[in-house]
Chains A and B, each alone.
Chain A
């Protein structure tokens, strides 16, 4: 029998078999491998087999049966290999995905990875995906993010770009997060804002899928009995996949994926693969969300810690202030009463001592007790300044009242204080007692130790502040005297000693009210106080005498 195929030859030449091409040279002298790998698919071998069948040899039908079974098993094995190859790729992909998801606690990064995995060709290769997140406080599923092209043109551009860059999943996700996340969110804003489903809407296809905790393939959506037509119209596709994200029985969210551009059929294999993928995604999203909440709580605890520390320091300060208050209160009672008695009886004696040789001594007692009472007043005023009480006050009325309080002193000194109220000024936000004290003290210190003189008080508005100027154009003060004037218990030749102006400066600057004293060498002195007209005004500029 003449055989067409080369199966019975131990060695053949290249070109003897149409199925052995360049690169298959090692098969030329190996008949066993040649028969198993090439002959069974060869047309020549098939014709030889037909001739053998026709020859009537008793083994011919058996041989034919064995050959056909061999062919079938071979195809089956090839199919299994293909399946295993696919599964290997899928496991590698899931492993890569799992590694990325497990290493991140950043919600945006997790979402970028998840949605990139669904739409990337190297992943599940879906055209488009939406993520809906569960908002427990509002009991709704709300559209959070979308990814994918909106039309064929954009799709071609994206896929071309992705295929030309050959990036792994992590790089793709990072690229998406850095360059496209915001744009994609904005691109699908119109759909996302309408993708809100109340969790109580148990008839809604999305809630049904979520409650079933199983992925659901929705086909023929526009005629599906469980699909709201408006929902199908919003997505614009008749086939889509619903993939619930469940972690520890908690409904984390839902992914809706479709092939809106290619219309490729979503297979059961796709569903099973994505079901495997859904768990680590749900877990990673929940973990990232918990981490976010933990960060918020941590920040709150940190802030609370800082506040607590501030409060503790405040309490310590308040205790110190309270101690100062108690001490000054004790001084007031312990010193003022004896001073009053000494001064009072001295005055009483003075009335009937016209011819008494000790009259000068009595007058000295009265003068010294008066001075001591003045020092006591200043100390008590300082004690009061520790607790300022701000409110809105009429500056014209405040100045007029302050000037009235020292009118007797002005008359006794033969001095004059001029003030013309300015109509239409806004109210100032200050501690009335402190500012009144400052006006009285500045005017009093200016006239102290002088005979006559005139002090002028002016006020004017500048933006959100009122400028209060107290001027004495005839006073000449040297730089050293000015410094002494503004130093507690500093002594000047003309203007007395004590706390007066130093206390004014401390009071005003402590509450952020600028206090400026200008005393040019050619003469004249001007005290300037800037008062806020608004509560939120925060004057932290600190200006001192010059």
Chain B
């Protein structure tokens, strides 16, 4: 079972993600801030992280940069209310970008695509 870390400052969104992604067969761990996410990351390994960009007074992009630097093997998907960050160079570090929507199909497809790509990479030994 793939283990996902979901980071979002909105408690209800974390709850929605957890419920929906568990239904998809993932083991979901949530965090409401960068500090909490760091703590969860130290507690175990994850197959993928879903990050919000605007985290109250923090930036998901900063966490993305940290993850790319320290855990480059773990893919990251940015999930934001803003489409404009798609054109931001710093957001290009992420493996996927999804604009938030009540219809989580796109996010689910993106998670499946990124995990499949990761598995493919592992298979060829990259």
In the bound complex, do residue B102 and residue A339 qualify as a contact, i.e. CB atoms below 8 Å apart? yes
Shortest C-beta distance, A50 to chain B (Å), equals 123
In the bound complex, do residue A343 and residue B82 qualify as a contact, i.e. CB atoms below 8 Å apart? no
Shortest C-beta distance, B24 to chain A (Å), equals 12
| Chain A residues within an 8 Å CB radius of B87 | 433
Cβ of A370 within 8 Å of any chain B Cβ, yes or no, is: yes
Cβ of A42 within 8 Å of any chain B Cβ, yes or no, is: no
In the bound complex, do residue A337 and residue B100 qualify as a contact, i.e. CB atoms below 8 Å apart? yes
The stretch that binds A, out of B9-17, B26-34, B60-68, B117-125, is B9-17
Cβ of B84 within 8 Å of any chain A Cβ, yes or no, is: yes
Find the B residue at minimum CB distance from A433. Answer: B87
| Chain A residues within an 8 Å CB radius of B101 | 340, 343, 373
- A342–B15 Cα distance when bound, in Å, is 12
- A337–B52 Cα distance when bound, in Å, is 11
- A56–B86 Cα distance when bound, in Å, is 136
Mask for B84-106, Cβ within 8 A of A = 1, else 0? Answer: 10010000000000001111100
Find the B residue at minimum CB distance from A343. Answer: B102
| Chain A residues within an 8 Å CB radius of B102 | 339-344, 346-347, 366, 369-370, 373
Contact of B81 among A337, A346, A384, A433 (CB under 8 A): A337
- A337–B56 Cα distance when bound, in Å, is 13
Cβ of B19 within 8 Å of any chain A Cβ, yes or no, is: yes
- A200–B45 Cα distance when bound, in Å, is 82
Cβ of B20 within 8 Å of any chain A Cβ, yes or no, is: yes
In the bound complex, do residue B16 and residue A345 qualify as a contact, i.e. CB atoms below 8 Å apart? yes
- A346–B84 Cα distance when bound, in Å, is 27
| Chain B residues within an 8 Å CB radius of A345 | 16
In the bound complex, do residue A384 and residue B84 qualify as a contact, i.e. CB atoms below 8 Å apart? yes
In the bound complex, do residue B82 and residue A337 qualify as a contact, i.e. CB atoms below 8 Å apart? no
Shortest C-beta distance, B33 to chain A (Å), equals 16
- A345–B20 Cα distance when bound, in Å, is 9
Cβ of A44 within 8 Å of any chain B Cβ, yes or no, is: no
Shortest C-beta distance, A44 to chain B (Å), equals 120
Contact of B12 among A332, A341, A366 (CB under 8 A): A341
Contact of A336 among B84, B100, B103, B104 (CB under 8 A): B100
Cβ of B54 within 8 Å of any chain A Cβ, yes or no, is: yes
- A35–B13 Cα distance when bound, in Å, is 136
Cβ of A276 within 8 Å of any chain B Cβ, yes or no, is: no
Known A-B contacts A339-B102, A342-B102, A369-B102; the reply to A348 vs B84 at CB < 8 A is no
Find the A residue at minimum CB distance from B83. Answer: A380
| Chain B residues within an 8 Å CB radius of A340 | 13, 16, 81, 100-102
In the bound complex, do residue B103 and residue A347 qualify as a contact, i.e. CB atoms below 8 Å apart? yes
Find the B residue at minimum CB distance from A352. Answer: B23
Find the A residue at minimum CB distance from B81. Answer: A336
Contact of A348 among B13, B20, B83, B100 (CB under 8 A): B20
In the bound complex, do residue A341 and residue B82 qualify as a contact, i.e. CB atoms below 8 Å apart? no
Shortest C-beta distance, B19 to chain A (Å), equals 6
| Max count, chain A CB within 10 A of own CB: residue among B10, B20, B82, B102 | B102
Known A-B contacts A332-B81, A332-B82, A333-B54; the reply to A341 vs B104 at CB < 8 A is no
Cβ of A71 within 8 Å of any chain B Cβ, yes or no, is: no
In the bound complex, do residue A348 and residue B16 qualify as a contact, i.e. CB atoms below 8 Å apart? yes
Find the B residue at minimum CB distance from A389. Answer: B87
Shortest C-beta distance, A275 to chain B (Å), equals 74
- A65–B12 Cα distance when bound, in Å, is 140
Cβ of A401 within 8 Å of any chain B Cβ, yes or no, is: no
Would you list which residues of chain B between 50 and 84 have a CB under 8 Å from chain A?
A: 54, 81-84
Cβ of A73 within 8 Å of any chain B Cβ, yes or no, is: no
| Max count, chain B CB within 10 A of own CB: residue among A332, A333, A340, A366 | A340
- A333–B83 Cα distance when bound, in Å, is 11
- A346–B20 Cα distance when bound, in Å, is 11
| Chain B residues within an 8 Å CB radius of A343 | 101-103
Cβ of A329 within 8 Å of any chain B Cβ, yes or no, is: yes
Shortest C-beta distance, B81 to chain A (Å), equals 4
Contact of A344 among B82, B84, B104 (CB under 8 A): B104
| Chain A residues within an 8 Å CB radius of B16 | 340-341, 344-345, 348
- A336–B19 Cα distance when bound, in Å, is 19
- A384–B99 Cα distance when bound, in Å, is 15
- A348–B19 Cα distance when bound, in Å, is 8
| Chain B residues within an 8 Å CB radius of A347 | 102-104
Shortest C-beta distance, A276 to chain B (Å), equals 75
Shortest C-beta distance, B117 to chain A (Å), equals 19
Find the B residue at minimum CB distance from A339. Answer: B102
| Chain A residues within an 8 Å CB radius of B23 | 348, 351
In the bound complex, do residue A329 and residue B13 qualify as a contact, i.e. CB atoms below 8 Å apart? no
| Chain B residues within an 8 Å CB radius of A341 | 10, 12-13, 16, 102
| Max count, chain B CB within 10 A of own CB: residue among A341, A366, A377 | A341
Contact of A333 among B12, B20, B81, B103 (CB under 8 A): B81
Find the A residue at minimum CB distance from B84. Answer: A384
| Chain B residues within an 8 Å CB radius of A351 | 23
- A337–B102 Cα distance when bound, in Å, is 9
| Chain A residues within an 8 Å CB radius of B54 | 333
- A370–B102 Cα distance when bound, in Å, is 7
Shortest C-beta distance, A339 to chain B (Å), equals 6
In the bound complex, do residue B103 and residue A337 qualify as a contact, i.e. CB atoms below 8 Å apart? no
Could you pull out 18 A-B pairs where Cβ atoms are within 8 angstroms?
A332-B81, A336-B81, A337-B13, A340-B100, A340-B101, A341-B12, A341-B102, A343-B101, A343-B102, A343-B103, A344-B13, A344-B102, A347-B104, A348-B16, A348-B20, A369-B102, A380-B84, A433-B87
Report the 7 A-B pairs with minimum CB-CB distance, sorted nearest first: A343-B102, A336-B81, A344-B16, A341-B12, A344-B102, A332-B81, A340-B100
Residues of A that sit less than 8 Å from B by CB:
329, 332-333, 336-337, 339-348, 351, 366, 369-370, 373, 377, 380, 384, 433
Residues of B that sit less than 8 Å from A by CB:
10, 12-13, 16, 19-20, 23, 54, 81-84, 87, 100-104
If A344-B20, A345-B16 are given as contacts, then 8 extra A-B residue pairs at C-beta distance below 8 Å, sorted by A number, are A333-B82, A340-B102, A342-B102, A348-B16, A351-B23, A366-B102, A370-B102, A384-B84
